[in-house]
Structure 1
Amino acid sequence: MTVLLWVPVVSLLAWLWLTLAQGFFWRTDQRLPAARPVARWPEVVVLVPARDEAEVLPVSLPSLLAQRYPGRARVVLVDDHSTDGTGDLARRLGQAGGGAGLALTVTTPPPLPPGWTGKLWALRHGVERAGRAEYLLLTDADIAHGPDSLAALVAAAEGHRLDLVSQMARLRVETRWERLIVPAFVYFFAQLYPFRWSNRPGSRTAAAAGGCSLVRRTALERAGGIAAIRGAVIDDVNLARAVKRTGGRTWLGLAEQVGSVRPYPELGQLWRMVSRSAYAQLRHSPLLLLGTVLGLALVYLVPPVALVAGAVAGSWGAAAAGGAAWALMAGTFTPMLRYYRQPAPAALLLPFTALLYLLMTVDSAVQHWRGRGSAWKGRTYGKALEPGPGPAPD
């Protein structure tokens, strides 16, 4: 076998394995478990860490204050030393409802100490203000919730005895770059952390989505609290690992009533969103970076190249292997495109999107080597903060 033939054959074998043996990651049927009758609605505190979020709060915060929850619930927004008036805006939004919705408290944490990321330090402060509430809903400031979102999350946790219920918020796909990048972002995440594996008790795989995670307070305390993951840039996955490692049951799926309102109209904004944590995901390892680059190239770039090169060179075996691998790639991506209400033919662009993600990952490593680390909202986090606790996924 020539190189032109065996490389696409290996790529095709990789796609057969991914399609059949990687937890059926490509399926989009992991949705919130069916609700069961709740005998007593427990008290919930919604925690919103917010730093310079004045642009999105007018859309997201009212959706939280308007939750139709049968039990006691309130919202605590932790203004993480914003410079754009986030805290004052939040107070005005809380007063605008005239007391008809959930009560709102706006608070500010002490200055950020060494060894903590800003978001987790803000959450720790929020947990302290939450008192003895039975559940905590950790949700980002750019996430809007349907009016029954909180009740559905609690019903799932209570009815299925779950300690952590997390939903991957539906991200915006309005601009051409969002349509190209966002569905693939969720697809790649699910490929790395198959939801079925994460939701299976006893599995070593554990993952959550930081934008919407309902956690039982006792499970969080058993896992060591927010302090257990204080330096984790990828805080959602590390939280799920900590909860699962200490005997908790976790669940992760795609959202119906939860969505991000943050716009990413330009490629540069999406690039920074991905690159700020990509190298941290690889535990700042040059060897893992090399393996990731080679793996992405073999799995996503080889199929279309082999199809074209094989046809040009008259190597129809290589062309067939490349075409079959590309077809599997597009076929497994199509359900995610349907979830995001995008046309199925867009699945053929996944190799180009994967190339962008490859470059973003390399850029993330370059920024880390330059000492810029994981930069977000005016803060830069270096290698000393990572990794969080727990084993690597299956």
Structure 2
Amino acid sequence: MTSFTYCRSSASPPTPPAASARLPDMQELLAFLQDPELVARFQRRCGLYLAEGLIRDHGKTRPANGAPITGEKTLGHMDGSWDHQDGNFNYRYKQDSVPVEDCRKPRYEVRNWLLHYLFLLSAGLGHEVFYITCLPWIHWNLDPFLCRRLVNMWTIVMYIGQVMKDLLKLPRPPSPPVVKLETRVDAEYGLPSTHAMAATAISFTLLLSAPSRVQFCFQIGLLIAATTSSLVSLSRLYTGMHSVLDVVCGVLITAVLILLTYPYWESFDSFQLTSPLSPIIALSLLLFLSYTYPELDYYSTTRGDTTTILGVCAGCSVGYWVNAQLGHTFEPQGLLPVPLPTLTALSVARSAGRSLVGVATLVGTRQIVKKLSLDLLYSWYNVLKTDPNARRRKEIEVPSKFVTYTAVGLVNSILVNRLFVLLGLL
């Protein structure tokens, strides 16, 4: 009878890699997602190219024929590497030489005009002109409740996103290799993308809030929300203003904020409308956040934009509280959810009339209060109106923008609907 002996190998089984050994892979992934070449490739796939004649070769930008460039200017692009000795991932800048004329004016070629205009339109959904028209439109034509909920979540995600930008201080993708189609916010930092945050917050807050108020097909609403937020996010890559990492982080941060705050939405609504402390807290807290916004070594539009958002929220919050105390909220009456309004020639005409009157009222309010507040602050601080940097001073920019957009929020929430009643538009 043959016997078999089973011998156990003296060699120990391979041990899984330590967590610290896997860190470089994660850091390499983050560096890859932040690589400007990834954004440039997306732009080229969509038909957007740097002007022909410029190529990028080993960190240098030169004409295609290799001739020397006169009057160069250095720009940096982000690079990084994993330091195995100290266990840290180190970011650094590499200098690129680009012609001065190319720094002053973007030179690019569009080969797909359909995508070009689609992404430019989508990018516009994150600008002030959209906020001052779309959010009030929901108030005027659908339900003030939904507008209030959207303004609250929009303010939370935008404030957190803007503060994160100026604390993390991660740069936007450089040009070249990226084509930059926007210049106003180029001095801001990149991560996270507040366009992606705002689009995701508005789309999915509306989707989650609307079923209790309006009858609609949830699947169609989900498709619209996902499409809108995706287009806005991709537009930030197409315009060259954000890296893939900026956009992904913006969407994920917003998703987390929605999940964390969703259980408390109803409780906050009740406090906002009924508590006598609501207007006091709204004005004082949001003004405090405006003044304590993180300071930078140079001027950036983030502080002013954030103060604008906080001012709108303060004005709307106080306005909705006033409406609740007066007992006239202009919200749908009867059994909820109500059917969507029937589209008729008369309803479309009234909606268009409300939109025109409403936008004109808000823009007029903005212009009047802005001028009055600036004139008063210039006089108070003895500043010349012709000084181009006067508006950038904290003691002028913050109170001017906060007062201006608080007035816009108050007018939108309190006065505009009453104006519609006088004009027979409701």
Q: Which has the larger radius of gyration?
A: 2
Higher relative contact order (CA 8 A, sep 6+): 1
Normalising to structure 1: TM-score of the pair?
0.25
Normalising to structure 2: TM-score of the pair?
0.24
Higher helix share: 2
